[in-house]
């Protein structure tokens, strides 16, 4: 076998993931179990770069060509974990997607009780790119909180706040309407830490009772119904990423199966 560990290319675990077989972590486990063969040699380490000329076999079957990069919008309902496996056995986003979907990962997360727009992709590199704050994409939310909201309190979030030693960046916040002891707010942020909105609202004295992501960068939840998935055409994705348009690939919304 040629010395693929020194040549250009991509890590074998990434190559398996791009083919839609598994996650990178699973690929590393498969390699440790001796299930992956490259150019006739059983691998015992994931520290290997491969190119398109290498012959890769997994469980005795030749590896298919990598899938093209794809991105979907999904309207996540409440009550689903954004994970492939939940140790507590709770239903997951990935177990609730329509039949025929390839293996995908999420761009960021929405927690168990949050809902709204969740981007899904088959490309881990794209997911990390879209998640990174340097991308500058605004994420917008409609949030219902309990309490009589004082708009001056909301303005404190414009310059960011520090809670329990954790610094949170600027959050643009406005009052949409007050309904009795509850209020609807509109929030926009460019970097989302774990449960950030819930924590900053609790800090201001307004516990969150509902949280809906309505947009992620240029992609809008719009009329997409809960549980539906819609693929973003390849041309639109390429334009938003500032890349040369790829072969168009659109799809109609598909109703997800119930969790």
Q: Which residues does the annotation mark as catalytic?
A: 111
Q: What do you get for the CA distance between the two ends of the chain, in Å?
A: 46
Dihedral of alpha carbons 212, 248, 242, 109, sign: positive
Comparing C-alpha atoms, which of 177, 171, 176 is closest to residue 157? 171
Q: Are 207 and 201 in contact (CB under 8 A)?
A: yes
Q: What is the CA radius of gyration of the chain?
A: 21
At 202 the three-state DSSP class reads helix
Integer Cα distance of 90 and 34 in angstroms: 32
Say how far apart CA 181 and CA 149 lie, in whole Å. 9
The pair of structure tokens assigned to 192 is 């989302």
How far apart are alpha carbons 204 and 182 in whole angstroms?
A: 14
β-pair partners for 4 = none
d(CA 82, CA 190): 20
């Amino acid at each position: 076998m040629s010395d693929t560990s020194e040549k250009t290319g991509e890590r074998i675990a990434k190559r398996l993931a791009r083919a839609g077989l598994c996650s990178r972590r699973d690929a590393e486990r498969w390699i440790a179990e001796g299930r992956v063969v490259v150019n006739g040699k059983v691998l015992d380490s994931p520290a290997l770069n491969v190119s398109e000329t290498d012959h890769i076999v997994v469980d005795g079957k030749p590896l298919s060509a990598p899938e093209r990069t794809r991105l979907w919008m999904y309207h996540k309902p409440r009550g689903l974990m954004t994970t492939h496996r939940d140790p507590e056995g709770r239903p997951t986003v990935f177990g609730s997607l329509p039949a025929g979907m390839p293996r995908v990962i999420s761009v960021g997360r929405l927690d168990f009780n949050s809902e709204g727009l969740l981007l899904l992709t088959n490309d881990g590199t794209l997911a990390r790119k879209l998640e990174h704050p340097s991308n500058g994409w605004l994420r917008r939310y409609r949030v219902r909180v309990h309490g009589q909201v004082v708009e001056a309190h909301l303005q404190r979030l414009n310059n960011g706040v520090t809670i329990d030693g954790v610094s949170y960046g600027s959050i643009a916040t406005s009052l949409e309407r007050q309904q009795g002891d509850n209020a609807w707010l509109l929030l926009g942020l460019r970097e989302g830490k774990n449960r950030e909105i819930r924590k900053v609202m609790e800090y201001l004295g307004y516990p969150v009772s509902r949280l809906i992501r309505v947009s992620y960068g240029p992609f809008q939840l719009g009329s997409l119904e809960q549980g539906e998935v819609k693929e973003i055409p390849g041309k639109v994705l390429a334009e938003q990423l500032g890349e040369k348009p790829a072969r168009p690939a659109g799809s109609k919304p598909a109703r997800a199966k119930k969790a």
